[in-house]
Amino acid sequence: MDDTKTKLEAQAQEIRAELVRVNALLRERGDYGFGKGDPAVYQWEFNLALRERYEQRLEQIEKALGRLTDGRYGLCEQCGGRIEPERLEAVPYTTLCITCAKMQV
């Protein structure tokens, strides 16, 4: 579990660094004026969506670290069964086993 914790903490640190970078990019906004067609508007919207994605991923990682602390890590929150080790290796912040994840698609 120490390896998993280290991996999750490293991912969280990378995402925090990316959030700092994206937040700096969001300080400059394009001109939203009618008929302007400023390409910076598209880039700003893209960066905004990227920030939201990073924030969601960071939240997932922080929750996974919490589950590690309280002993619930690796248990499917839907069926209560064990999450497959291969799945945890690929997606260490997952909360569902493969069977339950397939049912949600």
Give domain limits for the chain.
1-73, 74-105
Collect all residues with Cβ–Cβ distance below 8 Å to 95 and sequence separation of at least 6: 63, 64, 67, 76, 77
Q: What whole-number distance in Å separates Cα of residue 43 and Cα of residue 39? A: 7
pLDDT confidence bin for 41, thresholds 50/70/90: confident
Per-residue pLDDT of 54-66, as tens digits, reads: 999 999 999 999 9
The residues near 3 (Cβ < 8 Å, ≥ 6 apart) are none
Contacts of 15 (CB under 8 A, 6+ apart): 54, 57, 58, 61
45-95 pLDDT, tens per residue? 999 999 999 999 999 999 999 999 999 999 999 999 999 999 999 999 999
Q: What is the pLDDT of residues 16-39, one digit of tens each?
A: 999 999 999 999 876 666 666 677
* Lookup: tokens for 97: 């086993």
Mean pLDDT of the chain: 92
Q: Report the distance separating Cα 26 and Cα 21, nearest Å.
A: 9
Spatial contact of 12 and 58, defined as CB atoms under 8 Å apart: yes
